[in-house]
Structure 1
Amino acid sequence: MSASATSSSASLTIDPTGFAKLGPQLLLLADILAQSTEQLSLTLSATQQRQLLLYLDQLLLWNKAYNLTAITDPVDALIKHVIDCLAIITHLPAGDLLDIGTGAGLPAVIIAICQPERHCTALDSNQKKIRFIRQISSQLGLSNVQPIAARIEAHEAQYQVVTSRAFASLTDFVSVAQPRLAEQGYLCAMKGKAPSADELSALKPAWQIKTIKLAVPRLEDSRHLIELCNKSV
């Protein structure tokens, strides 16, 4: 590949220096990313788009050592990890953010790249995954990411926004996240299918709940963001 190449849809020059895994697919991935950010009404600089692609590159490079993802195809990983997380950005309330069970930094690192003014704490009990987040944050120059290797029960700070992709049960997420929520803060749970009526009815007495249906570019699977605010504050 030449020293630089241009992604036509993005009008973005992609320097392949530093990319270890994406190789000849770099232009295709840059095009998909640029088209997707436009569909999601996200305004990202050339630097931010490059950071997202470098994150994807390093995720796939270090996957075997750190067991980061079951998805190994670059296009699939871009859509199902990076773009999936990008779909929540415009819906997030303002404030310092805690991502519980962040894994490889999804969505914490993606949010931090897109919103450099927001401080993001990436929490996971898996030491290897936190080591990866620490490494990629340093490599990308993300001063707004704080990786912490701990269980949520052992973490004591409070935040305006608490997110997670990791919980199968919305009620379980609310149970562990509530103590970490600042007054007038928001819980934001990334879900596939919308929560069941039973799940919602169990939470409605204490929580104001907003279910946001997400349209993730190039992904046919159902995606939702559940936003909860405590009624007692």
Structure 2
Amino acid sequence: MPSASALPEPLAEALDAGLALMQLDSVHPDQRQLLIQYVLLLQRWNSTHNLTAVRDPLEMISRHLLDSLAVLPFLDAGRVADIGSGAGLPGIPLAICRSTQAFTLVEPASKRVAFLRSVLAELGLSHVQVVPTTSEKYEPEKLPDILISRATAPLARLDAMTIHLQGPQSRVLAMKGPGVEEELADWPRAAALELRCHDLQVPGSPLRKLLIWTNPLQMP
């Protein structure tokens, strides 16, 4: 793992500038170092494992790190499950900045699972675990307090994939790009939910949306 002095300065500068614009100055310098180290690991593994279409580590700062961390102000306390985590997005950046919360990265693809486990070991993220399965087959002993998804599936499909994980107090955070209106129109259960929609302003990226809902209390 590179030392702080060995971290590429342009990456650190881009991260610092982006966090300042997003008013996330509370991210500690040690956490910023871990975020950059995560990007370097992603770049290294990506050359042989094709984990993300983004190849330039500087572009990864905005497209991956800042995009993931835009959710930070909306992330309450409790157990977090990152559904379809892929290369660990948004779960790993969020977990780096929330070291007292338990995170579970749910990901079925074996090459991504191998990468995630390597990241957790190299960065010392002992509060994060990887579950190598699909969300439909994920059956935790305790339901997550928060389910989060970064463009894993259309809203109706995401809801169906995770309905067994949504307890009466669970909160679902779905990060979406353009086309969310069409997804809402194709999701009949949306009418029964109190949906909140927030704009996510990420420097260097198009406007994103964050949809939040809580599963209705189950009646006896």
TM-score after normalising by structure 1: 0.85
Shift of 1:86: 0.9
Q: 1:166 to 1:130 in 2, by over 3 A?
A: farther
Q: Where do 1:92-131 residues align within 5 Å?
A: 92-131=75-114
> What is residue 169 of structure 1 aligned with on the other side?
154
> What is residue 172 of structure 2 aligned with on the other side?
187
Work out which of the residue numbers 210, 218, 230 in structure 1 matches 2:196. 210
Q: Is the 2:168–2:216 Cα contact (8 Å) retained in structure 1?
A: no
- One-letter amino acid matched to 1:161: I
Shift of 1:166: 3.6
TM-score after normalising by structure 2: 0.90
Q: Secondary structure at the match of 2:169?
A: strand
Larger relative contact order (Cα-Cα within 8 Å, sequence gap ≥ 6): 2
Deviations 1:40-59 (A, max 9, x none): 22211111000000000000
- One-letter amino acid matched to 1:188: L
Q: Is the 1:102–1:166 Cα contact (8 Å) retained in structure 2?
A: no
Shift of 1:198: 6.5
Shift of 1:194: 5.8
Deviations 1:75-128 (A, max 9, x none): 111110111101111112321011111001001111110100111100111011
Q: Where do 1:35-184 residues align within 5 Å?
A: 35-42=17-24, 43-157=26-140, 158-184=143-169
Match status 1:33 vs 2:15: yes
Q: Is the 1:194–1:224 Cα contact (8 Å) retained in structure 2?
A: no
Shift of 1:208: 1.1
Q: CA RMSD in A?
A: 1.9
Output the CA distance in 2 between the equivalents of 1:206 and 1:232: 11
The structure in which a higher percent of residues are helix is 2
Q: Percent identity?
A: 30
Shift of 1:197: 6.0
Q: Is the 2:54–2:60 Cα contact (8 Å) retained in structure 1?
A: yes
Q: Secondary structure at the match of 1:146?
A: strand
Q: 1:202 to 1:76 in 2, by over 3 A?
A: same
Q: Is the 2:168–2:217 Cα contact (8 Å) retained in structure 1?
A: no
Q: 1:135 to 1:184 in 2, by over 3 A?
A: same
Output the CA distance in 1 between the equivalents of 2:49 and 2:90: 17
Output the CA distance in 2 between the equivalents of 1:135 and 1:156: 24
Work out which of the residue numbers 6, 15, 29 in structure 1 matches 2:5. 15
Runs of at least 5 residues in structure 2 that lack an aligned partner in the other structure: none
Shift of 1:32: 1.2
